[in-house]
């Protein structure tokens, strides 16, 4: 999946590979847009665990634009960052959405203290933009103090 994510990133961001025109019906396109909108921005557990920042893509529109949004996922059950990416990307692929892992790190989530710490990096995906993760986390946890740091693994 890491290779697939990297290849997708190269194709999306390279001028060497122009977008291929896709013909879709507007009703199908709006269904995918609705599915993209329905994806929660944040799903995290309590405690200390690995997390990843994921870009989720909808279908390319007729004008060449491609709707997307960034989401945060972190699960205590995941031994590796890739475990999270595999789970999330396969469930979103079932909805017709593509994903790209933007990096990872760790989260310490202490709801009883209204505290979330975002730090560290992923050995496989690199360091996520912790400030972007913080911005997204605030959409669900506005009442929490959210700290970021580049320290630790």
Which range has the worst mean pLDDT, 50-54, 64-68, 86-90, 143-147?
A: 64-68
pTM strictly above 0.85: no
Average pLDDT over residues 124-140: 98
Is 81 considered catalytic here? Answer: yes
Residue 22 has pLDDT above 70, yes or no: no
What are the domain boundaries of the chain? 2-17+41-148
2-17+41-148: which CATH architecture?
A: 3-Layer(bba) Sandwich (3.50)
- pLDDT band, residue 27 (cuts 50/70/90): very low
The per-residue pLDDT for 64 is 87
% of the chain with per-residue pLDDT over 70: 78
Which range has the worst mean pLDDT, 9-13, 54-58, 92-96?
A: 9-13
Binding residues for substrate: 50
Strand partners, 47: 109
| Measured distance CA(19)–CA(13) in Å, rounded | 10
Exposure b/e, 13-40, CB count within 10 A at least 16 = b: eeeeeeeeeeeeeeeebeebeebbeebe
| Measured distance CA(26)–CA(34) in Å, rounded | 12
Residue 35 has pLDDT above 60, yes or no: yes
* Among 23, 81, 109, 130, the one annotated catalytic: 81
The per-residue pLDDT for 139 is 98
Exposure b/e, 44-59, CB count within 10 A at least 16 = b: beeeebbbbbbbbbbb
| Measured distance CA(73)–CA(81) in Å, rounded | 10
């Amino acid at each position: 999946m890491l290779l697939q994510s990297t290849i997708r990133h190269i194709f999306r961001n390279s001028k060497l590979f122009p977008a291929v025109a896709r013909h879709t019906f507007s009703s199908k396109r709006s269904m995918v847009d609705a599915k993209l909108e329905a994806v929660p921005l944040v799903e995290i557990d309590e405690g200390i665990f690995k997390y990843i920042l994921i870009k989720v893509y909808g279908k390319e529109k007729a004008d060449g634009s491609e709707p997307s949004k960034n989401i945060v996922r972190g699960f205590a059950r995941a031994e590796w960052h890739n475990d999270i990416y595999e789970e999330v990307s396969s469930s979103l692929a079932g909805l017709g959405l593509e994903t790209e892992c933007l990096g990872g790190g760790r989260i310490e989530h202490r709801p009883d203290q209204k505290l979330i710490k975002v730090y560290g990096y992923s050995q496989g995906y690199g360091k996520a933009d912790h400030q972007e993760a913080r911005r997204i986390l605030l959409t669900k946890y506005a009442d929490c103090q959210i700290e970021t740091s580049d320290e630790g693994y």
